[in-house]
Chain A
Amino acid sequence: MNKWLAFVLFVVAVGSVVFHFVSPWWFTPLASNWGHIDTTIVITFWITGVAFVAVILFMAYCVLKFRHKADRRAAYEPENKKLEIWLTVVTTVGVIGMLAPGLIVWNQYVHVPDGADEIEVMGQQWTWSYRLPGADGVLGKTDVRNITSDNPFGIAMNDPNGVDDVLIEGDDLHLPIDRPVKVLLRSIDVLHDFYVPHFRAKMDLVPGLVSYFWMTPTRTGSFEILCAELCGTGHHIMRGTVVVDAADDYDAWLQEQETFADYLAAAEAAKTSTARLALDNEEAEPKAAQ
């Protein structure tokens, strides 16, 4: 039994390491500037991996070596201060080795570089919409209370910055390559989370406030957006796509998008045509009555 258990412990320790190295399941290929995140994970893997293997193998050795014999006595050693202090120090060093790089990278994560483009991601059950600042480079103010079918983003009518905002509903988000982008996140119903595995970055969308993260796309291609915060029955179908374009392709795409002004014009036109229709009907009615 002791041998068998020691063997199993050995297999668990070594097998876990082997699994780690041969497993085909690993991060998606990186497509943003957050290579540092991967580095901190690798550092953490090394430090914790060594500790894990050491503890389990030590235990396997003990199980094998100190198995019960009726004529033997266990050692009597209530404590060993020197050993305990030594172990504490080693552990502390290991923890600092993981924490310090982590905090440095986190510091980069929370500080958006100057000149980053601002875009907005808006979540609702269970779709993604996007808003780009338009020609003036500034996003218009919004409020959930302004939302109507003509103004799905709730842009404030009295904010001139909002008129030229580019609105993207039910379509892919495009981003230019190699330009840092500050992603502003907002939700109009429940919590969501904007998560693109290839970018590593993610952040919740919280109704009532605007959260953010930043990143720089470093690879062209199209990447899947997954919602990563449970948001109701349709959580798993809340998907979207980010397309990272070369600068020219991006500009060409941007030209084709509708602005809030276009939305307002369309709404106006619809109103006029509805009004005309109503007028027509009114004219038609007396005839019908006759």
Chain B
Amino acid sequence: MADASPTADDYVPPAEVEDVELYHPKSWITKWVFSQDAKIIAIQYSSTALAIGLVALVLSWLMRLQLGFPEAFDFIDAEQYYQIITLHGMIMVIYLLTALFLGGFGNYLIPLMVGARDMVFPYVNMLSFWIYLLAVVVLVVSFFVPGGPTGAGWTLYPPQAILSGTPGSGSGIILMLASLILFIIGFTMGGLNYVVTVLQARTRGMTLMRMPLTIWGIFVATILALLAFPALFVGAVMMMFDRILGTSFFMPAILEFGEQLQYGGGSPILFQHLFWFFGHPEVYIVALPAFGIVSDLLSIHARKNIFGYRMMVWAIVIIGGLSFVVWAHHMYVSGMNPYFGFFFATTTLIIAVPTAIKVYNWVLTLWQGNIQLTLPMLFAIAFIVTFVNGGITGLFLGNVIVDVPLSDTMFVVAHFHMVMGVAPILVIFGAIYHWYPLITGRMLNSAMGHFHFWITFIGSYAIYFPMHYLGFMGVPRRYFELGETEIYSQSAADLNAFITIAALVVGFAQLVFLFNMIWSVWYGRKSEPNPWRATSLEWQTPVMPPEHGNFGDELPVVYRWAYDFSVPGAADDFIPQNVPPSAVAVSDDPETAPA
């Protein structure tokens, strides 16, 4: 039972962790460019991620044009098509989603939400961003080298990734691997920062179970990343050796267009194991922060505590743990020992239980809430729709025998776009609408926001929901064109054209959003402090947007969890985390009085 009475313990013992000595920028360059302030680094990370993400968005248009209207566009040939899909996938998963959630939101929100002045290692944090930027630059350079970027698919499966039958098997693949290695090094630096900051730099009173779920999601996702990225690192280094030095880690004795190669004895499946040992946790590296953020958005905008907070935390931890024992469900038809199928199907479907619980708790948070349909709330609800849809198609693909006819078809493409493309991106949008006033002091334009929301939500559902049915028909993924075939009907071709048009419309709506983000910096409506009447610490800073050091002279002290909304007996429908029990205004309204 919540206690809003003034008799509770207000005593604050002295701080145990010494206050961080802040670095002081000496010039414009060290303040805005080589900054060590997590908030600036967050904005640098986010802008870089969005910029390269825009490239991936344009690539997706080209890809859809080819799929929707094959033979209509001479400027896309098969080689380019495979390069386009490869880079679209790689950029979206690694350079946009991972970087934005952890480097962007992680950097901005962790110190503010746990009540710290900054990350614990600001200098390493800065290095992390610059190495990430270098990784992006190397990736972009690969567009312009002879032979172009790699077209091996974002999974980069050997042997084809490094053989001449694949576009970009010259310098393209080498630069791709180099860029990934850089990304991992940069990320590890940032990741250590996020984990240690959460563990050690929380302000007084901020117990782990008082942290907002946003922080829980980012925290566990970062741990996953620290343990999963080494697998990609090893795989990338080994493939680099195979490509440059002629070792045979992944290369058995093979021919290249009739020509015997020197390779021998390697195992292509070994790479797949390494890739997916990273790749599956990667899904949750993107999903867990989204889970956390959406929990907070739902709670704040429904004016109700998140339902089953403890269960939500446990589910995040359990999902994170289980994500390391499900990787081979990406490999049911890879030719690995088929008996693995029993184990991995079971573990995979077990994950459905904690995930389903999260969904139930989100919708139960709406139940008997006081729902404000703000833009963040709209995006959060849209997230639940697409996530549930993408989640249940995951039950098809995770169940080994059901996966057999569906794997490598458009069903897979539809599934993972729905669950780890559209769903997390809707959360990102919701989060940007939610925290934009904190970052800039202004609100995003609401009319443009609604336009953006409705097109994005309905449009992406219209893109991906019907796409599953192409997969049922047997249309394989990664096909430049299907050509003459009996499995494909005219109506299916029309459906493909429709999907392309929907994709172009949705893509256009994103440009409106980008415009809104830039325009509102100067012309947005000025926001009052704490415009959403939220409880978590980032809204309780002395000035908004928060300055360097976040909390002015004195760090806040936390007295309660982050979800004290509509507490019976309190005058307001929210109590910020740093309000001591004695300072809570008590309501004399009989309706809200404690029972």
Contact = CB atoms under 8 A, between A and B. Distances in A.
B574 to A, nearest CB: 10
B311 interface: yes
B341 interface: yes
19 contacts: A2-B373, A25-B470, A37-B404, A44-B396, A44-B399, A59-B384, A63-B373, A75-B367, A75-B566, A80-B364, A84-B311, A95-B350, A107-B342, A125-B257, A145-B253, A206-B268, A208-B267, A233-B166, A237-B483
B407 to A, nearest CB: 7
Nearest to B394: A48
Contact of B474 (A12, A207, A226): A226
A144 interface: yes
Given A25-B495, A40-B399, A110 B339 contact: yes
A79 B310 contact: yes
B7 interface: no
B352 A12 contact: no
B338 A109 contact: yes
Contacts of B255: 124, 144, 147, 188-189
A55 B363 CA distance: 7
Nearest to A87: B360
B360 A74 contact: no
Given A75-B304, A99-B349, A232 B165 contact: yes
Given A84-B311, A99-B399, A205-B335, A68 B372 contact: yes
A63 B304 contact: no
Interface string B364-378: 101111111100001
B90 to A, nearest CB: 14
Contact of A76 (B79, B82, B568): B568
A62 B367 contact: yes
Interface string A220-243: 000010111111111111010000
A55 B358 CA distance: 12
Interface in B369-405: 369-373, 378, 381, 384-385, 388-389, 392-393, 395-396, 399-402, 404-405
Given A190-B165, A201-B404, A230 B153 contact: yes
B311 A191 contact: no
Interface in B148-192: 151-153, 157, 159-160, 163, 165-167
B15 interface: no
Interface in B416-440: none
Interface stretch (A16-24, A131-139, A166-174, A261-269): A16-24
A63 B366 contact: yes
A5 B378 contact: yes
A58 interface: yes
Of B404, B481, B563, chain A has the most CB atoms within 10 Å of the CB of B404
Given A103-B342, A200-B404, A237-B483, A98 B349 contact: yes
A144 B334 contact: no
A190 B402 contact: no
Nearest to A23: B469
A151 interface: no
B252 to A, nearest CB: 3
Contacts of A200: 404-405
Given A102-B345, A106-B341, A224 B479 contact: no
A77 interface: yes
Nearest to A55: B388
Interface string A26-49: 111000001011001100100011
B200 interface: no
B491 interface: yes
B474 A5 contact: no
A286 interface: no
Interface in A249-285: none
A287 interface: no
B356 A74 contact: no
Nearest to A58: B363
B5 interface: no
Nearest to B481: A236
A76 B306 CA distance: 10
Contacts of B393: 48
Given A27-B473, A228-B409, A44 B402 contact: yes
Interface in A61-100: 62-63, 66-69, 72-80, 83-84, 87-88, 91-92, 95, 98-99
A68 B405 contact: no
Given A72-B370, A99-B346, A224-B486, A204 B335 contact: yes
A105 B152 CA distance: 33
A62 B363 contact: yes
Closest 4 A/B residue pairs (Cβ):
A208-B252, A197-B474, A232-B165, A211-B335
B581 to A, nearest CB: 16
A236 B396 CA distance: 25
Contacts of A91: 352-353, 356-357
* Interface of A: prevailing SS: mixed
Nearest to A1: B373
A76 B357 CA distance: 19
B159 A203 contact: no
B567 A77 contact: no
Interface stretch (B20-28, B458-466, B511-519, B536-544): B458-466
B565 interface: yes
A156 interface: no
Contacts of B210: none
Given A23-B469, A209-B335, A233-B82, A41 B402 contact: yes
Contacts of A195: 408, 474, 476
Interface string A175-207: 000000000010111110101010011111111
Given A44-B395, A109-B401, A66 B367 contact: yes
Given A44-B395, A55-B363, A68 B303 contact: yes
A8 interface: yes
A48 B473 contact: no
A51 interface: yes
Contact of A224 (B305, B307, B487, B489): B487
Given A68-B303, A105-B401, A200-B405, A79 B309 contact: yes
A73 B566 contact: yes
A19 B401 contact: no
Nearest to B346: A99
Given A26-B469, A224-B486, A234-B78, A207 B254 contact: yes
A3 B402 CA distance: 38
Interface in B257-311: 257-258, 260, 265-269, 302-305, 307-311
Given A92-B353, A144-B253, A204 B333 contact: yes
Given A109-B338, A191-B268, 5 more contacts: A5-B373, A79-B311, A98-B395, A189-B163, A202-B404
B333 A193 contact: yes
B473 A62 contact: no
Nearest to B564: A76
Contacts of A228: 407-409, 476
Nearest to B479: A236
Contacts of B368: 66, 74-75, 77
Interface string B86-109: 000000000000000000000000
Contacts of B82: 230, 232-233, 235
A155 interface: no
A162 B334 CA distance: 27
Contact of A230 (B339, B372, B478, B591): B478
Contacts of B495: 25
A220 to B, nearest CB: 15
Contacts of B392: 48-49, 51-52
B174 to A, nearest CB: 18
